Amino acid sequence: MSTSMPSISEAEWRVMNVLWEKSPLTANEIISSLQGQTDWNPKTVRTLLNRLVQKNAVGVNQNQRVYTFYPMYSQNECQHAEAQSFLERIYSGALKSMLVQFIQKDSLSDEEIQELRSILDAKQSSTDHPNK
């Protein structure tokens, strides 16, 4: 796996989501999974798979008669890279600005507020005591 996360288009994310749910899968299995979610024809899905393979986001197992595909990165790794890219493009890397805007504009339930407080408290504890 390379250290640089590939850029994944919105359509490619749909394919990746299928692979993160279950893999390895054949192209036909991926096509079947996407049929209920999209109106893409099989050639479109195969094109997206080929792009993902070229980007090294998806690997191919060629040991069998039918090729199977699997993600090269975890969903969490891709989400983190996409979030970092978004943060850089839109907020010039200023995480605080982004968080403030989302918190001020969106209504949060008491449960969500408590969860955010817990996450921030845990983060603060880990920075206060880095050896823990």
Question: Model confidence over 69-111: pLDDT tens digits?
Answer: 999 999 999 999 999 989 999 999 888 888 888 888 778 888 9
Nearest to 26 by CA among 41, 37, 15: 15
Eight-state DSSP code of residue 130:
T
pLDDT at 2 over 60: no
C-alpha distances out from residue 36 to 26, 43, 47, 126, Å? 17, 16, 18, 44
The overall pTM is greater than 0.75: yes
Q: What pLDDT was estimated at residue 1? A: 40
Eight-state DSSP code of residue 2:
-
Hey, what CATH topology would domain 10-71 get? Arc Repressor Mutant, subunit A (1.10.10)
Strands 25-26 and 58-61: unpaired
Eight-state DSSP code of residue 7:
P
Q: Which value, in Å, is the radius of gyration of the alpha carbons in the chain? A: 19
C-alpha distances out from residue 8 to 56, 115, 118, Å? 11, 30, 31
